[in-house]
Amino acid sequence: EVQLVESGGGLVQPGGSLRLSCAASGFTFSTYWMYWVRQAPGKGLVWVSHINSDGSSTTYADSVKGRFTISRDNAKNTLYLQMNSLRAEDTAVYYCARSFDNWGQGTLVTVSS
């Protein structure tokens, strides 16, 4: 069974940093593209970032470019999202997704003073 479990969310002040993790199991992690998608409270789904299977290629939404960094450790079956210079508008539930066919339960990031 495919499982994606996010962690690392929490309350952070504007300008602060957080690192989200997504632990994958039940499939060959190293062969899949992975994604981060976020959902602000009461709003729709917004793609944040993608990484290819070996980590050599990444893309970002304009709203996070230069502030967020996606990475993966295929030996640990884990996806990461390093979030720096956080803003109030980054407040959202962050989901990791495997090729969009399987999603984690999400982790809430709240940016507030």
Partner 1 sequence: DVVMTQSPLSLPVTLGQPASISCRSSQSLVYSDGNTYLHWFQQRPGQSPRRLIYKVSNRDSGVPDRFSGSGSGTDFTLKISRVEAEDVGVYYCMQGTHWPPWTFGQGTTVEIK
Per CB under 8 A, residues contacting partner 1 are 35, 37, 44-47, 50, 59-62, 95, 97, 100-101, 103-106
Nearer to partner 1 by Cβ, of 16 and 60: the residue is 60
CA distance 77 to 8: 16
Min. distance of Cβ 106 from partner 1 in angstroms? 6
Nearer to partner 1 by Cβ, of 27 and 103: the residue is 103
Give the residue carrying structure tokens 């939404």.
61
Min. distance of Cβ 10 from partner 1 in angstroms? 19
Nearer to partner 1 by Cβ, of 8 and 106: the residue is 106
Nearer to partner 1 by Cβ, of 16 and 91: the residue is 91
Min. distance of Cβ 74 from partner 1 in angstroms? 22
Min. distance of Cβ 19 from partner 1 in angstroms? 21
In this structure, which amino acid lies at residue 96? C
